[in-house]
Amino acid sequence: MSAENTDFAKALREAGLRVTQQRLVLLSILMDAVDHPNADELLNRAREADDSVSLATVYRTISTLEEAGLIRKLSFENEPARYEIAPVAEHDHIVDIDTGEMIELASDEINRLRAELAMRLGYEIVSQHTLIRARKIRRD
């Protein structure tokens, strides 16, 4: 078992979950992903490691991992949900409306401003996520 799988196994046990091959495979895929895969993409990648994985297994596993707080579901209207490892630090996303590319936008300044604005209104942020839909500026 690799060091990465050992870390994932520990995270699963700490979350009160059994360590299974499917959970380890999906966590590993999400850790290595740079593109926030959806369930179908997770299935295709999981089958490269274990061809017995089914779509039902993927959905059950991501639901369990999400409930345990190990992964985060990103839902956007009219698009399949995408998934990422639960972030250590909150961040937002920019989605390129022409290509569908999703880019992480991590900014301490944005997080600080958001917290200040919420506090001014008498709130404490419990969780947040902003999605910015954008189009690449063409410089011809």
Are residues 97 and 54 both part of a single domain? no
pLDDT tier, 126 (very low <50, low <70, confident <90, very high otherwise): confident
Are residues 12 and 69 both part of a single domain? yes
Its domain, for residue 120, covers 92-134
Are residues 101 and 41 both part of a single domain? no
What's the burial of 58, exposed, middle or buried (CB within 10 Å: 0-12/13-18/19+)? Answer: buried
Average pLDDT over residues 120-133: 85
In total, how many domains does the chain have?
Answer: 2
In tens, the pLDDT along 35-60 reads 889 999 999 999 998 888 999 999 99
pLDDT tier, 5 (very low <50, low <70, confident <90, very high otherwise): low
Are residues 73 and 114 both part of a single domain? no
User: CA 140, CA 71: separation in Å to the nearest integer?
Assistant: 40
Residue 139 lies in a domain: no
Are residues 66 and 8 both part of a single domain? yes
At position 23, the amino acid (one-letter code) is: R
Strands 131-134 and 82-85: unpaired
More confident residue, 34 or 117: 117
Residue 58 lies in a domain: yes
CATH number, domain with residue 77: 1.10.10.10
Are residues 100 and 118 both part of a single domain? yes
pLDDT at 122: 95
In tens, the pLDDT along 101-114 reads 888 888 888 888 98
CATH number, domain with residue 123: 3.30.1490.190
